[in-house]
C-alpha cells in the first residue's frame, strides 16, 4: 500500500513552457485500486489500536464508493465485517465490486447524494452502537493523517524536494489536508490548491461542492492557498485526453485534478506541479456521458 509511482505528464502539457513540469501520483496502483486505501488502512489500524474496533463489531461508514472498496478489501483480508451506506446512483461497477468483496451495502436516496448516505450511516450508528463501529471518514483524523504520513513524504522524496504546487480534489478533503500539511511544514513556500466541482449538482464522482455540502469536520476552508472550480464537461474532456495522449485511463476526479493543475500551470512561469489521480477509469464505463460520441 502506498509508494505509488509519480508519473511525468509530457504530452498533455506539451504547450507549456519547459520550466514547468507536471506530475501525477498514480493512486490506482494501491491494492484496492484507489487513493482511499491510505485512509482506510490507517483508520482501521488506529481503531484497532485504540480498542474502538473490537472483535464482533461491524465497521460502518458512508462512502461514494472508493472508500468502501478499500474498507471491504482490508476488511476481507483482516476478518472485519463491513457495512456501507452509499447513494443508489453510485456507479453499478462500484456497487458490484463492494458486493463481490463481501460488504453489506445499504443504498440511500440518490437525490440526497453523499450527504444522504452520511445521514443514514449516522442514524444506524446511533441506533445500534453495539453492532457498529462508525468509522466516520469525514471526521476521523486518521483519514488526513494517512496522507500526512505517506502521500506527503512520498511526494517530497519523489520530487527531491522540488515540488512548488500541490493540486488535489476535495472529497472528504483528507488528501488535500494531510498531504498539504506535510508539504507546507517541509517547504513553507509550497502552494496548496484545492479543486472542487463548480456546482452543487455535478458529475465529478468522489468530489464535493463544499459550499453546498455537509462540511467534513477534518476540512479547514482556510487551509488551501486557492480553490479552483472545475466543470464536469471539462473533466470528461481531460479524461479522454489523458487516455488518448498519455495512455492513462483514469477516473473522472483525476480529469478534474488535471484541469485544475493545467489552470495553475497557465498562470506561472516556472515550477513543479504535483497532482494526484485518485483512481483508474474502469469503474466509470457505464457513465455514458464520458465516452459516447467523442
Ligand atoms: N476522487 C475519488 C474518485 C474519490 O473516491 C475520492 C474520495 N471521496 C476523492 C477523489 C477525494 O479524496 P478525499 O476524500 O481525500 O478528499
pLDDT in tens, 41-91: 999 999 999 999 999 999 999 997 899 999 999 999 999 999 999 999 888
Length of the chain: 294
Q: End of a domain among 138, 163, 179?
A: 138
Host domain of residue 252: 6-29+148-292
Cell numbers 458486493: residue: 99
Q: Walk across the sheet containing 82-87 and list its strands.
A: 104-108, 82-87, 58-62, 132-134
Angle at 80 between CA 4 and CA 175, to 5 degrees: 35
Q: Is the same domain home to 99 and 242? A: no
Which residue from 207, 209, 281 has its CB within 8 A of the most atoms of ligand 1, so it is best to mutate?
Answer: 207
Indicate if ligand 1 lies below 6 Å from the C-beta of 27. no
pLDDT for residue 176 is more than 80: yes
Residues 159 and 287 in one domain: yes
* Centre of ligand 1 from the C-alpha of residue 276, in Å: 10
Mean pLDDT on 28-46: 98
Chain CA centroid to CA 20, Å = 25
**Is residue 143 situated within a structural domain?**
no
Retrieve residue 54's grid coordinates: 473490537
Note whether 270 and 181 are same-domain residues: yes
Q: How far is the CA of 44 from the centre of ligand 1 (A)?
A: 18
Mean pLDDT (the chain, rounded):
95
* Overall domain count for the chain: 2
Q: Is 197 in the pocket of ligand 1 (CB under 6 A)?
A: no
Amino acid at each position: 500500500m502506498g509508494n505509488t509511482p509519480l508519473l511525468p505528464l509530457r504530452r498533455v502539457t506539451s504547450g507549456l513552457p519547459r520550466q514547468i513540469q507536471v506530475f501525477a501520483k498514480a493512486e490506482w496502483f494501491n491494492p484496492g485500486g484507489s487513493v482511499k486505501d491510505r485512509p482506510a488502512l490507517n483508520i482501521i489500524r488506529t481503531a484497532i489500536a485504540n480498542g474502538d474496533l473490537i472483535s464482533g463489531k461491524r465497521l460502518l461508514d458512508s462512502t461514494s464508493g472508493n472508500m468502501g472498496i478499500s474498507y471491504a478489501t482490508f476488511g476481507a483480508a483482516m476478518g472485519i465485517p463491513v457495512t456501507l451506506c452509499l447513494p443508489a446512483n453510485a456507479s453499478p461497477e462500484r456497487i458490484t465490486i463492494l458486493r463481490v468483496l463481501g460488504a453489506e451495502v445499504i443504498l440511500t436516496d440518490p437525490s440526497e447524494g453523499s450527504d444522504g448516505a452520511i445521514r443514514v450511516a449516522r442514524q444506524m450508528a446511533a441506533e445500534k452502537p453495539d453492532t457498529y463501529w462508525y468509522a466516520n471518514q469525514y471526521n476521523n483524523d486518521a483519514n488526513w493523517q494517512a496522507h500526512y504520513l505517506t502521500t506527503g513524504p512520498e511526494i517530497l522524496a519523489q520530487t527531491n524536494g522540488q515540488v512548488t504546487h500541490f493540486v488535489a480534489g476535495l472529497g472528504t478533503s483528507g488528501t488535500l489536508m494531510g498531504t498539504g500539511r506535510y508539504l507546507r511544514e517541509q517547504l513553507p513556500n509550497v502552494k496548496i490548491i484545492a479543486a472542487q466541482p463548480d456546482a452543487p449538482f455535478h458529475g465529478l464522482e468522489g468530489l464535493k461542492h463544499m459550499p453546498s455540502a455537509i462540511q467534513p469536520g477534518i476540512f479547514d476552508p482556510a487551509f488551501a492557498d486557492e480553490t479552483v472550480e472545475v466543470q464536469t464537461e471539462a473533466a470528461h474532456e481531460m479524461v479522454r485526453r489523458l487516455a488518448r495522449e498519455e495512455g492513462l485511463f483514469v477516473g473522472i476526479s483525476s480529469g478534474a485534478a488535471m484541469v485544475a493543475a493545467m489552470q495553475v500551470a497557465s498562470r506561472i512561469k516556472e515550477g513543479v506541479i504535483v497532482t494526484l489521480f485518485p483512481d483508474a477509469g474502469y469503474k466509470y464505463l457505464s457513465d455514458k456521458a464520458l465516452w459516447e460520441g467523442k
